[in-house]
Amino acid sequence: MTRYLLTASASMAVLGGAAFAQCDTDRLEELVFLSGDWNLYEQTGIYGGQSYYVLDADACEVVEMREGGEENELQRALFIDPDTGVWRETYNPDFFYYDLSGDIDSDGSLVMTGWTDSGEDGSVREALRARWTPLDEGGFAFVMQVSPPGTDRWDIMGAWTYVPRGSDPNGETPAPDAQGPTLGAEWFE
């Protein structure tokens, strides 16, 4: 199903405030594997909800919307930074801030690195990385990890398998306890 997002340009201003430039649709299409309606499964395979990604050439961004309740909620907005020419995502809610940038690697994954900070007095900036990897079955895996300062350890912040709703063995809307694909240790360095 194709979705059109009418408020995507507003999300860019809220999330990143990046200057708008002429959209490079070839670059936007690098992330076509994200586009669609998804059932999400946590790292352990437990069903975790639904979302959809929209490629928006008008705003020159890729937007994920999380479904639930009466309204859909903006989950993320990926955009090409006009200053650096690489993919970028910034997030700044009331309790958590991060800034990521990166590009497509040799296996077709979008790999981004950056930092996170709670924004509270005395908070410590931590290294952050995220990876969106297309899967052979038509879905993709999303892994976000954080590394506390002074450590070589990468802790899991979020790890999800996105399964196309139309081909999910658990159906279009799985039961809350439905078991789906898992992400094993090979996904975490």
Q: What is the pLDDT of residue 13?
A: 36
Distances (CA, A) of 29 to 13, 95, 102, 112: 22, 32, 16, 17
Q: What is the CATH number of the domain that holds 152?
A: 2.40.128
Q: What is the pLDDT of residue 8?
A: 35
Closest among 99, 86, 97 to 129, alpha carbons compared:
99
> Does residue 93 belong to any structural domain of this protein?
yes
Q: What is the pLDDT of residue 125?
A: 87
> Does residue 3 belong to any structural domain of this protein?
no
- The one-letter code for the residue type at 59 is A
Mean pLDDT in runs of 10 for the chain (189 residues)?
34 39 80 95 95 89 81 83 91 78 95 86 86 94 93 92 96 95 86
> Does residue 141 belong to any structural domain of this protein?
yes
> Does residue 39 belong to any structural domain of this protein?
yes
Both tokens assigned to 62: 């890729």
What global pTM score does this model have? 0.83
- The one-letter code for the residue type at 179 is Q
Computed from CA positions of residues 12, 15, 21, 27, in that sequence, does the dihedral angle turn out positive or negative? negative
Q: Which domain holds residue 63?
A: 8-19+30-187
Closest among 160, 146, 78 to 114, alpha carbons compared:
146
Q: What SS3 class is residue 125?
A: coil
> Does residue 2 belong to any structural domain of this protein?
no
User: How many domains in the chain?
Assistant: 1
